[in-house]
Amino acid sequence: MNDPQVNKMIRWLLDTRQLWREGDFVTEAQPHLNLLPQAEQDAILRYRFLRDRCMALGSKLVKRLAISHLSGESFREIRIGEDSHRKPIHIPRSPGGPAVSFNVSHQAGLVVLVALCPREKSPASVGVGVGIGIGIDIVCVSERDDAQQMTEQGGFDAWISTYAEIFSEKELTELKSTLAPPLNEVKLELHPRLRRFYAFWALKEAYIKMTGEALLAPWLRHLEFGAVRVPVPVPVPAMVQGPTSDGVGSDGTPSSDEATNEHVFGDCTRSMEIWLHGRRVHDVRIELVALGPDFMVATAISAPAHARQEGDMDEDSFPVFDLITLSSFDDLLG
């Protein structure tokens, strides 16, 4: 068994959009499904749509791989339970062993994970809600047809108002304050107003996932983010003008992920203010980063003084994202 690493955090990205797509999902994905307990396999297969099955399988694989990587436990022996909020938590096999805190989010085919292993014999294991907590959320600005909903509901401001149970009055006012486009131009997928909405959404989701509570948390509207600078999207290189049927750009450039910047993390912000019940929150750090032209990822970490180690709340406490592929599981399939 590997020695557990103290207060070691990792962040991973898995792209499932081209995985398990060649034929029947069950047949093609069976080797990877077999790495999971039967109950988790059954839960994956209950999803109707292929994309949801792929994201569910990817999420379950990366969380177990991360726990194994940080705790030293065998992938197949990892036990996952639930806390009082029904948030999945790692249950160490050894009494007093380190419990790995983890959180996963997926959207539009991409899966992101953040995981952290605390110091051994910590008085408050990660994920239990007293020690260090972490949360992550990924959003895709262009996935849904928000433009259609805006048109049906009378414009951007009316559409924003439908989220009054989630955002505070101050946040709603800020989201409505940016100059609105005419309804016939609202289909611009990365318009600043829509991107700003998803930035606030990701920040709020990451925070509540860090606490273990859901969007129904009674204090949700009392959680406010201020001085939010929305990360600039990673640009699509000018030479890539869209893939053709043979998988290359119209100028002959291969339409690979590298060429389109789909897996490139770019501009990020960590300087936003966090307020809860009118009081400034100082023991939570949060980052919002652009991923490719369409995605943003928010990561939140809470470290109360009794559970904190030197460096936990520093600016560089957020590690870079590592790209995970199916080859990461090859040794387990042998």
In this predicted structure, what is the pLDDT of residue 293? 92
Rounded to whole angstroms, what are the CA distances from 149 to 89, 144, 154, 175, 221? Answer: 37, 10, 9, 17, 23
- The mean pLDDT of 76-104, rounded to a whole number, is 89
At 152, the pLDDT band (50, 70, 90 cuts) reads confident
Strands 321-324 and 8-15: parallel
In this predicted structure, what is the pLDDT of residue 228? 94
Instruction: Pull the structure tokens for residue 220.
Output: 């949700």
Which residue type does 206 have?
Answer: A
- Identify the three-state secondary structure at position 27: helix
At 186, the pLDDT band (50, 70, 90 cuts) reads very low
Which one has a higher pLDDT value, 109 or 22? 109
Which one has a higher pLDDT value, 173 or 122? 173
At 137, the pLDDT band (50, 70, 90 cuts) reads very high
At 181, the pLDDT band (50, 70, 90 cuts) reads very low
- In terms of Cα–Cα distance, which of 146, 136, 140 is closest to 262? 140
Residue with tokens 């009674």, as numbered in its chain: 218
At 85, the pLDDT band (50, 70, 90 cuts) reads confident
Please tell me the distance from the alpha carbon of residue 148 to that of residue 170, in angstroms, as a whole number. Answer: 26
Q: What's the pLDDT tens digit per position in 257-277?
A: 555 788 999 999 999 999 999
Which one has a higher pLDDT value, 77 or 178? 77
**Average pLDDT of the chain to the nearest whole number:** 82
Any idea what DSSP says for residue 86?
Answer: -
Lowest mean per-residue pLDDT among 102-111, 145-154, 166-175, 203-212: 145-154
**DSSP per-residue codes, 201-235:** HHHHHHHHHHHT--TT-TTGGGEEEESPPPPPPPP
Sheet architecture: strand order including 279-280: 223-226, 273-276, 279-280
In this predicted structure, what is the pLDDT of residue 125? 36
In this predicted structure, what is the pLDDT of residue 143? 82
- The mean pLDDT of 44-63, rounded to a whole number, is 97
Q: What are phi and psi of 96, to 5 degrees?
A: 80, 0
- The mean pLDDT of 35-39, rounded to a whole number, is 97
* Length reported for the chain: 334
pTM equals 0.85
- The mean pLDDT of 292-296, rounded to a whole number, is 94
